[in-house]
Amino acid sequence: MDPASQSDGLDYSFGNGDARTQVLFDITLRIERGEVVVLKGASGSGKTTLLTILACLRAMQGGNAQVLGYDLFEIDDATRIEVRRRLGFIFQAHNLHDALTAMQNVRMGLELHGRKAMRNWQDPVLHLLTVLGLEDRATYKPRHLSGGQKQRVAIARALIANPELVFADEPTAALDAENGRRVIEILQRLGRERGTTSVIVTHDQRVIDMASRVLTLSHGCIVSDISQTAPSADGHLKGTAA
C-alpha cells in the first residue's frame, strides 16, 4: 500500500529576489497510513509551512511530494479539490460560522461529499459531538461556546467525513488536559481501526507523548525523527530513532 504521504528533497521559500527567504530545506519524509505524527520545533522552524504543503493548501516549489498517491507537483486544480475531499483540516482558529449551531457547523464537513453523505446527518454529527463531550452544546451557536468548546466543534467538523488523512495545527491549544487527551485518543483509534493518518503541529507535551512518531524541525530541516513505542515506567512513551 502507498504511504499516506511522501516527500523527497522538498524546498520552499517566501518572497522573491533579494527578499527571498528559504524556510524548508531538502525535506525527505515518508508517513505511513495509520500513524499519528507530531511536527514540533521552535517558532519559525517551518512546521506550519510543511503542514500546509502536504495538506494541499500551499503550492509546491521544489522537490517532490505525494499525498494519498497523488503527485502534488503534477495534479491540476480539479484533482487537488478531489484530494482535499479525502483530507481533514484542524486549524488553530476554529473558523466557525456564527449564524450556525454546533451541529450545523459540523454538518458543513459533509456538504462537500454530496447528497448521499448528507442523508441522516444528524445522528453521526450528534454522536461525534457526544464523543467530544459536547452533547449538551449541540444546538448552541458559537457566541455561547467557550474557546475550547469552539475548538472541539471545529475538530468534529474536520473528522465527520472520515478523512483518510488529518492535518492539525495546534489542535489542543485551547483545550484542557482531559479534552486534549480525548481528541488525541480519537485520532489514535481512527488510526488503529480505519488506518486514518494524523499529522499534528504542536508544542503540547501531552500530544507529543501520545504520538506514534515525533519529527523535530529546526531552521527548515528535519533534525530528529523518533518512533515512539511502549509506555515507560513514568507513563511516557519510549522513543527510538528512526
| Average pLDDT, rounded, for the chain | 89
- Of 134, 215, 214, 231, residue with least CA distance to 175: 134
> Phi/psi of residue 11, each to 5°?
-120, 155
When pLDDT is cut at 50, 70 and 90, the band that residue 117 belongs to is low
pLDDT tens digits for range 8-37? 999 999 998 889 999 999 999 999 999 999
Asked whether residue 228 carries a pLDDT value surpassing 50, the answer given is yes
When pLDDT is cut at 50, 70 and 90, the band that residue 92 belongs to is confident
Residue 125 in grid coordinates: 454529527
- Of 216, 215, 214, 212, residue with least CA distance to 231: 212
Contacts of 50 (CB under 8 A, 6+ apart): 10, 12, 24, 27, 39, 217
Asked whether residue 116 carries a pLDDT value surpassing 60, the answer given is yes
pLDDT tens digits for range 210-219? 999 999 999 9
The pLDDT score that the predictor gives to residue 88 is 93
Rounded to whole angstroms, what are the CA distances from 28 to 1, 8, 178, 224? 19, 4, 35, 12
Pairwise CA distance, residues 24 & 127, whole Å: 40
The domain limits of the chain are: 96-146+153-162
When pLDDT is cut at 50, 70 and 90, the band that residue 1 belongs to is confident
Q: What Rg value do the Cα atoms of the chain yield, rounded?
A: 18
DSSP secondary structure letters along 50-102: HHHHHTTSS---EEEEEETTEETTT--HHHHHHHHTTEEEE-SS----TTS-H
pLDDT tens digits for range 140-177? 999 999 999 999 999 999 999 999 999 999 999 889 98
- Of 36, 79, 68, 50, residue with least CA distance to 190: 36
When pLDDT is cut at 50, 70 and 90, the band that residue 97 belongs to is very high
Q: Which residue has the cell 451541529?
A: 103
- Single pTM value for the model: 0.88
The pLDDT score that the predictor gives to residue 119 is 75
The pLDDT score that the predictor gives to residue 114 is 67
Asked whether residue 234 carries a pLDDT value surpassing 70, the answer given is no
Contacts of 214 (CB under 8 A, 6+ apart): 37, 38, 40, 208, 224, 225, 226, 228, 239
pLDDT tens digits for range 31-77? 999 999 999 999 999 999 999 999 999 988 999 999 999 999 888 88
Q: How far is CA 192 from the centre of its chain?
A: 16
The pLDDT score that the predictor gives to residue 238 is 43
The pLDDT score that the predictor gives to residue 230 is 38
The pLDDT score that the predictor gives to residue 107 is 93
Asked whether residue 204 carries a pLDDT value surpassing 70, the answer given is yes
